[in-house]
Structure 1
């Protein structure tokens, strides 16, 4: 295998992991928000509309206490790159958020930094979420 094929394979693998993570994250958010805390660690940080939360417990509390009811996320774009942390992945998502009972969808952007665990999965080290207005 030449270097170009190796890079394509690594890029394809990153994209597969990023898409699987995004699908899993938004499925949990839309169906079982309390379960999201398990995706974060004690050093994780969430910036949600400018507010900062640190650690899985604090982040889980914020996400479960959001003043929104049932919703449905749909990702329009998923971009990913390897992060400087060995085996880490930066994932940037843009998409739409439909709140139950609301006519109009909200546009959002979200960035995740995924860090590999010793068990072979990933946890969210950094998460930045913003609604897109305008």
Structure 2
């Protein structure tokens, strides 16, 4: 079972938000995670635009599992900053995360959110605290 399959199964059974959003991992390996999500009206704000809180949640999932792909058993988001550059309206949506530096206690992650035309719509940088 690939890392993506393992985490899809684990989160699909245990995380209601993950299931509700319809997030699925395409790839999870060696400091990198790619998650995808389709359009769902319940996840939008006025105008049919993907809600910023939903974008954050998807970016957070991608970042968290990029960290966990390095063998980290437990970590949580300490800080996450997002720059929204364009509305996300055209699916499928893709969230790509990469660990850019890891220490014993912290992981620094960059996450990009793309729309269905592969246009970067948001960029985030986060710090995860590693508990081990």
Instruction: Give the TM-score, by structure 2 length.
Output: 0.32
Instruction: Give the TM-score, by structure 1 length.
Output: 0.32
Who wins on radius of gyration, i.e. which is larger?
Answer: 1
Larger helix percent: 1
